[in-house]
Amino acid sequence: MAQRINLLLNKRIAFLLSFLLATSLFWGCTPSVIDSNVEIPERKWTYRNHIITPFEIKDSTKTYHIYFKLRHTADYKYANIFILAHFKDGKSIVTKRYQYKLAKNDGEWLGSGSGNVFSYTLPLLTNHHFSKNGKFTVEIEQNMRDNPLVEISDVGLLVKEAE
């Protein structure tokens, strides 16, 4: 009986150690400065509904990646999306227009799917160096002809340190 309890205890300890190791590897990976998602009301993204994401850079000597995050339903009627991204550092604003391909020519979605929803993490800026430490804001607006742009469920921003 004692041997059986010992074996069970050893298995639990091994499981706990494996879990802690996996968790530390996960948290030890590249840290995110910000990882945001904003739900789009009624899945209708209007021109006026700018997604504003403030964040803080504490070490401008590091390199960062900035990603646009998007989720849409299978009923989204386009194979692409245009957005405007306004990068603000308190004093200046730089606006860039982006086009992202969301589907193959045959209509198959390129995003990762979960049921009827498809998710994308798309590059805005890669290997970017901020000129200083401080507070920054990225404001994203849809730049398609449709207003509202329907079947967009979430929009967000991911800023993380480059590896």
Which residues are paired to 16 by β-bridges? none
- DSSP string of the chain? -HHHHHHHHHHHHHHHHHHHHHHHHHHHSPPEEEEEEEEPGGGEE-TT--EEEEEEES-TTS-EEEEEEEEEETT---SEEEEEEEEE-SS-EEEEEEEEE-B-TTS-B-SEEETTEEEEEEEEEEEE--SSSEEEEEEEEE-SSSSSEETEEEEEEEEEE--
| pLDDT score at 24 | 37
What is the pTM assigned to this prediction?
Answer: 0.80
User: d(Cα 79, Cα 96) in Å, to the nearest integer?
Assistant: 20
13-43 per-position pLDDT tens digit: 544 334 433 333 334 455 788 999 999 999 9
User: d(Cα 18, Cα 55) in Å, to the nearest integer?
Assistant: 34
114-140 per-position pLDDT tens digit: 789 999 999 999 999 999 999 999 999
Indicate whether 4 pLDDT > 60. no
| pLDDT score at 163 | 87
